[in-house]
Structure 1
């Protein structure tokens, strides 16, 4: 079945999409940028670049690094980052719901036998 992939353009240079949102979700779940990157088969450097891009884009931290004690540091998704995840997922669900009839019609066209 056809599906939507949502990207939200926030300014001429910045956008958010499913990859960045998944990265935030993984950081929230794992407490670490490096662990989140590994879970997504992404290098730590790339994960950190995306986090920095988001922090810069919003002008305040979406993810904060935590200096560690015995077990080392980590990272946490801020309240802003949690709100970003929630809003993106809500927009994604609303867009999918609004497009569902059209997506089903596209699938019907795909499934229709060809005219001979």
Structure 2
């Protein structure tokens, strides 16, 4: 039986800010918060601790002039989190940048893929 084919090549977008960065992980966390309404549930879905998820949310909320995540303190209704309109726009624009960069590099990625050594090729 031959090994499964390797996954396709894909570019990874990361935007470096002074002392901080914005990448797929923070955007995925925002998407999970949007879907779950909770930082802890979002962190669990991504296999990270609440503390780590909270650190990333805090970093996101201080990177920009507007917050990406709005927090609701506990109480009768319990705590929770939701995306602000800015947070929604941040996801939309980041995903659009990913698509645009992949499209711009499609020809070169195809060339790299064609030149890539296959798993069953001899060294």
TM-score (norm. length: structure 1): 0.90
How far did 1:92 drift? Answer: 0.3
Matches of 1:13 and 1:74, distance apart in 2: 28
User: Which structure: greater helix fraction?
Assistant: 1
C-alpha change, 1:69 and 1:6, in structure 2 (3 Å) is: same
Task: Give the aligned partner of residue 101 of structure 1.
Answer: 107
Matches of 1:15 and 1:42, distance apart in 2: 18
TM-score (norm. length: structure 2): 0.85
Q: How many correspondences in the alignment? A: 115
The C-alpha deviation readout for 1:32-72, integer Å capped at 9, x for no partner, is: 00000000000000000000001111133110111345441
User: Which structure: greater strand fraction?
Assistant: 1
Q: Which runs of 5+ in 2 are unaligned?
A: 1-7
Task: Give the aligned partner of residue 38 of structure 2.
Answer: 32
Task: Give the aligned partner of residue 41 of structure 1.
Answer: 47
- The correspondence of residues 19-98 of structure 1 with structure 2, limited to 5 A, is 19-98=25-104
Structure 1 stretches of at least 4 aligned residues deviating more than 4 Å after TM superposition = 111-115
Higher alpha-carbon deviation: 69-78 or 81-90: 69-78
SS at the partner of 1:72? Answer: coil
